[in-house]
A and B are shown apart, each in its own frame.
Chain A
Amino acid sequence: MNTIEYFKERFDLLQSVHKDSGLDIIRQKAFNTFNKMGIPTTRHEEWKYTRISGLFNKEYQFPVTQTATSLSQKDLDAVRLPGHEQASELFFINGLFSFPLSVVRSEALVVMPLEEAAKNEYKDIVSKNFGHSSNYLKDGINALNTAFVQGAVFIHVKKGQIPEHPIYIYNITDARSGNILSQPRSLMHISENAQVQIVETYTTIGLEESFTNQVMEIIVEKDARVEYYKIQNDASHTNQVSTTHIRQVGKSYTHTVTISLDGGIVRNNLNVVLDAEYCEAHLYGLYFQQGQSHIDNHTVVDNVKPNCFSNELYKGIIDDNATGVFNGKIFVQPQAQKTNAYQSNKNVLLSDTASVNSKPQLEIFANDVKCSHGCTVGRLNEEGLFYLQSRGISEKIARSLLLHAFAVDILEHIKPEPIRKYVDKLISERLEFDIT
């Protein structure tokens, strides 16, 4: 079992090996928090419906130093996304960023170890922004990632530049010879007037269990534009807590799409902090779960400054014994007048044993705002089913068409075409009917 003592031992080892990286103080502080809070249990308000503490009853290997991977070229190729020939490809193996495997294919990008960035010309950016997510995620699991930050990456998109192709980030866990805990960590800085598309996936190779505890923090400067796509389709013996923390510090635009198709227990934290006037944020999500899987999307939109706009739409299809959780917080701080914030969560349950818990949470401290939220949980539209069947379409295919139709208004927000087609294909395979 990975007890606190075990983590302490590993932590001391890490601190002694990586002294003086500029991050050791941050790690120490986070470890103290972890030590105090531990792995969150369902008694923690934000973890009421997602039970991860039990996952730590087993032993995980927990690499703290990078060794050359024994994964074959074939293993790696199987993970690559369509369009990878042009994309900049970044690899994490067991939570540690791999420079040998990663390829940067754009002059607009700077990619370096976070330890380095913490000391060189980017050190102000790092010190101002690294760990900002812990202001929003007050739990031991976020602290655990920070406590062991090592092998993390700093990604910088240069001022006014637009990489022609997306950045693909592959989080690979090699669980061929034991249970693995991997903790990828990255800090992205999108400079003024820059634009970037980021696509991220998670793959466990091997049959042992994996637990991925990821934190990505993204800072978005004035007039920058960011699209972020998270695609989760890992095997059912894998679990993850995946945090994406976006902070818009200048008038900027962000667009995130979170697609969750498989995995054991998947918890996503998506925070969007609108820390400048006239920011715009779009948050889309689609989860399609079956078997015993559990998906939890916790989102936060924090309106810190006035005149921001946010729109959030999460849609879910839950089958078999799968469970879904949606928790959407919108904060409007006292000074954030003229906020426009919209949120909607729509669910279709396909079986009697599927369930979903949907909770919007609006905390509005300003008076001149427009906010709305809504959630629905229902069955597949019987009227629509009959209509399609009456045209000669079998019930099975009619169901597939209706579910695909339900997913479409999320899919169409995936802008890079190869990725949209790829996700569409995954969904069509799940539905056993390809409409195209």
Chain B
Amino acid sequence: MLTIHNLHAGIEGKEILNGINLEIKPGEVHAIMGPNGSGKSTLASVLAGRKDFEVTEGSVEFFGKDLLGMPPEKRAGEGLFLAFQYPVEIPGLSTTNFIKTAVNEIRKYRGEEPMDALAFLKLMKEQMAMMDIDQSLLSRSLNEGFSGGEKKRNEIFQMAMLKPKLAILDETDSGLDIDAIRIVANGVNKLRSKDNAVLVVTHYQRLLDYIIPDFVHVLYNGRIVRSGSKKLALELEEKGYDFIKNEIDVSEEVNQ
């Protein structure tokens, strides 16, 4: 479904991603871990189409289509979703109006009729209940004054409403207590099917206790330096990122 080939990207001439290669197939869960500043959010943003970053080399295909040539809304229409590490507050735009517009825009992209108002309301209430989101958030401005946990749950709620084929979660677990992590994981697991995939970006492995990954990749200095199974996450947890850093930095010195 997603094929990343030798992806290089940066900002204002500064290279952040240094040749990422990654293949995600339907049904799979991938985790990307790595120390702060290694480029995890940059990768997620580049995939979602943030304009600030410039792709200097490489390609990304999504269901065989050139992802990088599409504006963000088309990527969403094609089934990509990014749960933001820092969801944006939009005073004056109600959560309901926002979700309704998003759902219907994506339906329009897919050639479907707008959702009937009653059906929409029903679906929304169900999904909110699942994410343990208070109904009062609906009439409030999008993310404005939401607590950290509310923002993250709101991201997963949006995901549940939009039903993407590939969901990228950027540190959705950060700042969440264990109950909230369970709720978020439950939301994600509900979406999982043989046709959908999830890319979990996280600093810690604890979310991976609930969303069990098929593959774990370690990102360091803009490159995937290690890939493995769930066990790799546990190893990182135990030894910390320094052991990877030391290994890589040593081998880079040797190579020079």
Contacts and interface: CB of A to CB of B under 8 A. Distances in A.
Given A386-B50, A405-B141, A393 B101 contact: yes
A390 B48 contact: yes
Given A388-B98, A393-B105, A401-B93, A383 B88 contact: yes
Interface in B188-212: none
A389 B71 contact: yes
Contacts of B52: 382
B129 to A, nearest CB: 21
A435 interface: yes
Interface stretch (B72-80, B177-185, B241-249): B72-80
Which of A383, A395, A402 has the most chain B CB within a 10 Å cutoff?
A: A383
B91 interface: yes
Interface string A122-165: 00000000000000000000000000000000000000000000
A404 B92 contact: yes
Interface in A381-408: 381-384, 386-395, 397-398, 401-402, 404-408
Nearest to A435: B97
B97 A393 contact: no
A409 interface: yes
A406 B93 CA distance: 8
Contacts of A381: 88, 90
B105 A390 contact: no
B49 A392 contact: no
Determine the main DSSP class of A at the interface with B: helix
Contacts of A386: 48-51, 72, 88
Nearest to B78: A392
B87 A392 contact: no
B102 interface: yes
B166 interface: no
A398 B102 CA distance: 10
Contacts of B49: 386, 389-390
Interface string B44-69: 00001111100000000000000000
Contact of A392 (B50, B92, B102): B102
A249 B72 CA distance: 57
A391 B162 contact: yes
Contacts of A398: 73
A29 to B, nearest CB: 48
B220 interface: no
Contacts of B77: 392
Given A392-B73, A401-B101, A409 B84 contact: no
A408 B73 CA distance: 24
A414 to B, nearest CB: 14
Nearest to B89: A384
B102 A387 contact: no
B42 interface: no
B159 to A, nearest CB: 10
A405 B91 contact: yes
Nearest to B80: A390
Contacts of B91: 405, 408-409
Interface of A: 381-384, 386-395, 397-398, 401-402, 404-409, 435-436
Closest 7 CB pairs between A and B? Answer: A405-B92, A408-B92, A392-B76, A392-B106, A389-B72, A391-B102, A405-B93
Given A390-B76, A404-B93, 5 more contacts: A389-B49, A392-B77, A392-B102, A392-B105, A404-B92
Interface of B: 48-52, 71-73, 75-77, 81-82, 84, 87-88, 90-93, 97-98, 101-102, 105-106, 109, 141, 158, 162
21 contacts: A381-B88, A387-B90, A388-B102, A390-B72, A390-B76, A390-B81, A390-B84, A392-B76, A392-B77, A392-B102, A392-B106, A393-B73, A393-B102, A394-B105, A397-B101, A402-B93, A405-B90, A405-B92, A405-B141, A406-B92, A436-B97
